Amino acid sequence: MKITGVETFLVAPRWLFLKVSTDEGISGWGEPVVEGRAETVRAAVHELSELLIGQDPLRIEDHWQVLRRGGFYRGGPVLSSALAGFDHALWDIAGKVRNAPVHELLGGPVRDRIRVYSWVGGDRPSGIREAVSAQVEAGFTAVKMNVAGPLTAIASPADVTAAIARAWEAREVLGPHRDLAIDFHGRVSPAMARRLVKLLEDVQPMFVEEPVLPETQGDALRSVVEASTVPIAVGERLYSRWEFKPVLDAGVAVVQPDPSHAGGISELRRIGALAEMYGASLAPHCPLGPISLAASMQVAFATPNFLIQEQSVGMHYHEGHEHAYLTDPSVFAFQDGYAARPLGPGLGIEVDEAAVRRADEVGHAWRSPVWRHEDGGLAEW
């Protein structure tokens, strides 16, 4: 079997899909994308494809090593995301060749279903009580919300009080038997992060995500970990196991590699194993499309220290697109806050190629918002 073709598809709302074809008619799908930089990743995918055309698709690990290490400059969000998409597609092909879901090729399932959480509140959280109530009624046992909109380096008492009040609104709806995760989204300075996590202790969040920016995740991250008993989670802007080791050394409780950014299924598996050595849990970051979610779920079913899976069905800027590119979206029919084990071969989904090709004719130009503080200075989104 040889790889004969690589195609990419820019599809709404902000995704990039990849199809890898072979001379035996078996194809695999991946989702290589950086939100807001889809065209840039698309170019990287086609550059890297030169290393794969004519090769045996089943040599997954060898291809992973070549795609990552075959260039003198390596890593970073663009190249790691391009690599991730290829890795998804090659595992998809391998599963189809062997007529088995990917998690069986990873050693088999270690659980019968995986817990998932849902987003509430948007980028500038509001209507928390109503939004959380809707997710509870839908059967979810855990939700995640942003702590606030833009925050200054030393936020006002009013902004701090409002953030804590929103968390309490969610907790009151969820009660003591459901979980709340809180995302700081890197919008908070280390000093404010230490203050906020301490004030959130009584809310008992399942974790606080990305309390500081990834470029400050050294002593600053350790200081936040040590400031309270709240479990700290990081990882959506880390792209390899080498980048995860320092944050695990800092004491984080949860790692959140993204299947579309951190080298795909192969590297998520290794990051999870590394976290296991530290007693930390794996909660994959996954606010993207159906291929990325399918890849992430395959890892979740085969990972002993898996905690919970992010998914973006109904997310504020994805609504109406979640199932547009699948012939059968029932694999994502969550029940009681859980996803059932996918039994189909490969990634366990069937991509509607005709719908993907139609969407690519339109494409998209999604960009991350640019926020400003009241004084005109740039704010973290």
Q: Answer yes or no: do 92 and 133 share one domain.
A: no
Which CATH number belongs to the domain containing residue 26 in this structure? 3.30.390.10
Which CATH number belongs to the domain containing residue 114 in this structure? 3.20.20.120
| Last residue in a domain, options 74, 100, 126 | 100
pLDDT digits (tens, 9 = 90+) for 246-264: 999 999 999 999 999 999 9
Residue 360 falls within a domain, yes or no?
A: no
Record the pTM: 0.96
| Last residue in a domain, options 73, 100, 127 | 100
pLDDT digits (tens, 9 = 90+) for 318-336: 767 877 899 999 999 999 9
Q: Answer yes or no: do 174 and 211 share one domain.
A: yes
pLDDT digits (tens, 9 = 90+) for 87-103: 999 999 999 999 999 99
Note the pLDDT of residue 142. Answer: 98
Mean residue pLDDT of the chain comes to: 96
**Is the pLDDT assigned to residue 245 strictly greater than 90?**
yes
Task: Give the residue numbers marked as catalytic.
Answer: 185, 285
Q: What total of structural domains would you count in the chain?
A: 2
Residue 381 falls within a domain, yes or no?
A: no
pLDDT digits (tens, 9 = 90+) for 114-126: 999 999 987 888 8
Q: Compute the average pLDDT of residues 208-221.
A: 92
Q: Answer yes or no: do 248 and 284 share one domain.
A: yes
Q: Answer yes or no: do 80 and 115 share one domain.
A: no
Residue 376 falls within a domain, yes or no?
A: no
Q: Compute the average pLDDT of residues 143-153.
A: 94
Residue 366 falls within a domain, yes or no?
A: no
Residue 227 falls within a domain, yes or no?
A: yes
Q: Answer yes or no: do 118 and 88 share one domain.
A: no
d(CA 370, CA 210): 19
Q: Contacts for 176-179 with beta carbons within 8 Å, 24 or more apart?
A: 177/141, 178/136, 178/140, 178/141, 178/142, 178/143, 179/117, 179/141, 179/142, 179/143, 179/205, 179/206, 179/308
Q: Answer yes or no: do 132 and 81 share one domain.
A: no
Q: Answer yes or no: do 133 and 92 share one domain.
A: no
**Is the pLDDT assigned to residue 315 strictly greater than 80?**
no
Residue 377 falls within a domain, yes or no?
A: no
Q: Answer yes or no: do 268 and 131 share one domain.
A: yes
Percent of the chain with pLDDT over 90: 94
Residue 328 falls within a domain, yes or no?
A: yes
Note the pLDDT of residue 241. Answer: 98
Q: Answer yes or no: do 207 and 282 share one domain.
A: yes
Q: Answer yes or no: do 156 and 115 share one domain.
A: yes
- Domain range for 341 is 104-347
Residue 352 falls within a domain, yes or no?
A: no
| Last residue in a domain, options 83, 100, 117 | 100
Q: Answer yes or no: do 290 and 330 share one domain.
A: yes
Q: Answer yes or no: do 130 and 168 share one domain.
A: yes
